[in-house]
Structure 1
């Protein structure tokens, strides 16, 4: 395989040498909030060993890779990124296939020099690309990467008006949010993350016997880091919070429903149904193209009940892919 001129060099990320990281992500074709140092740095310094990379040609950055390294079962692993929903190579809008191939080839050579035994990469679903492209996946496969898993994320295309989106709801979902209105449920943005977190913890314990991804302190820290891009929408009966959705505005195209939860004792009020109707309307107003409801598979095992709930709003499924390569 031949690639063009301009060799790619790789530097390990250092904040003093690479202060441009977040601005590069914001201006990129596929970068998200989860790739930014502002987000990644909410993790305590001792949680991960950072091994993020900067790819350059002619001393100018052409790609970034947020990553951490760790050892598991005697293997040295590079993972992009273990502490984020998405990782992978952050690329400019106009990156050529030739450059994708060159970056991947240089990356593998770097991994071999660093004695990495396995690399794992979770890339953003294709809707996060401002200019649609599968060059990155092609370059990975061309260099013998394989799927580790292909989870499914529910995504809703946001029409020009809430009425057009409601037309895609199943009849039972339209009935449910109208029932919530009749029962006096109200929806508003809230800064009461503590009350929502109690609902979330209780719900996850009952349904899945797991803890939330973030502690309350971490969630509040992320909100402080992104005051305009992290939002809690909550449903109330009077002043009692009965359900909530925490949205992360991942990039200018997609807002992600990272947490969705309700108080089981107020199930009959259908607070989540009304919440999603309001979230969809507000996301349209704020100019997003997609609402990502998040995955309903865990290691490719589908939760069909959760799938049906998200489908009832008109959502479809797209891949959230994780790739790996074992190195000799």
Structure 2
């Protein structure tokens, strides 16, 4: 499909297929707002659950944007299986060109896929390598509505707030117990604690099965890391961290009942924030909300704010075509 503008720029797109993998991943790495979650070895781990409809968009035969997404009925999601999945942009793209990207994509989705609505999970600004919020302005111009806001708790690592008194007391307790932080690949022992916590509190399973997180770690060994907090050979808790260029994001957190009593997570996060990831721009604890932000887990938020984290938004927009 192709369209021309008054400036004689020719726009066209192709729908993603496996032959485009190398080109897709190369663009994600050099885009101004892409992360490894938008590379195909991450996106496709659950390809059997979603009807992929990702788009590559060209201006004068040059790849200028990617639109990761999937179809569900007459709706296009960007992306239903990911925390975020907005349009990925070339560093040099302008606002007008970004608007042409949107219009080219939306015209295709309407004409070729019979899409009647778009659900758009915007990439939070802390993950941008270069300012990239053209999409939010264009969505507003097109009449999109903000349908969900989830609070995530983030620390700017070059200007941290100190730990609250309670967290400092727990940190002191963990040090007295001689606990140790270990970075390794023993996902099995951590996953047992994680599953027990989620079943007990929410009657749910982790988003990723143990087999899936192991496969993703093999695909992205430098970006996906496991940290366990241990008392000699016993795992008391830990977390899985997703590392991008700008952010260390905590994907999973869990501690056993014994680990909670002796401040295991306080020692773990002190080490991650002040040592392991101190050179990153942000440390993101992840969201503390459910049901599109309507339900706030106040206890979880209190813990994260105790480490000095404060709120940013994970936003979702809906556009009727």
Is TM > 0.5 for Structure 1 vs Structure 2?
Answer: yes
1:220-235 correspondence runs (5 A):
220-235=214-229
CA RMSD of aligned residues (A): 1.6
Counterpart of 1:219 (choices 213, 217, 232) is 213
Counterpart of 2:38 (choices 31, 35, 40) is 35
- Work out the CA distance in 2 between the residues paired with 1:119 and 1:269: 47
Mapped pair 1:270 → 2:263? yes
Counterpart of 1:171 (choices 160, 165, 186) is 165
Q: Counterpart of 1:297?
A: 289
Q: CA deviation at 1:94?
A: 2.5
Q: CA deviation at 1:309?
A: 0.8
Question: Secondary structure of 1:93's match?
Answer: coil
Q: TM-score, length-normalised on structure 2?
A: 0.93
Structure 1 gap ranges (5+): none
Change (3 A) 1:17 1:284: closer
- Work out the CA distance in 2 between the residues paired with 1:178 and 1:19: 49
Q: CA deviation at 1:194?
A: 0.5
Q: Counterpart of 1:241?
A: 235
Q: Counterpart of 2:151?
A: 152
Q: CA deviation at 1:133?
A: 3.7
- Work out the CA distance in 1 between the residues paired with 2:272 and 2:19: 39
1:195-210 correspondence runs (5 A):
195-210=189-204
Q: Counterpart of 2:174?
A: 180
Structure 2 gap ranges (5+): none
CA contact (8 A) 1:105 1:143 kept: no
CA contact (8 A) 1:26 1:32 kept: yes
The answer to which of 289-298 and 101-110 deviates more is: 101-110
Change (3 A) 1:3 1:120: farther
Q: Counterpart of 1:79?
A: 77
Question: Secondary structure of 2:248's match?
Answer: strand
CA contact (8 A) 1:51 1:67 kept: yes
Mapped pair 1:111 → 2:117? no
Question: Secondary structure of 1:20's match?
Answer: helix
CA contact (8 A) 2:33 2:132 kept: no
Q: TM-score, length-normalised on structure 1?
A: 0.91
Q: Counterpart of 1:50?
A: 52
Counterpart of 2:66 (choices 39, 64, 67) is 64
CA contact (8 A) 1:234 1:241 kept: yes
Mapped pair 1:257 → 2:250? yes
- Work out the CA distance in 1 between the residues paired with 2:164 and 2:7: 52
- Work out the CA distance in 1 between the residues paired with 2:269 and 2:133: 31
Mapped pair 1:284 → 2:277? yes
The answer to which of 215-224 and 105-114 deviates more is: 105-114
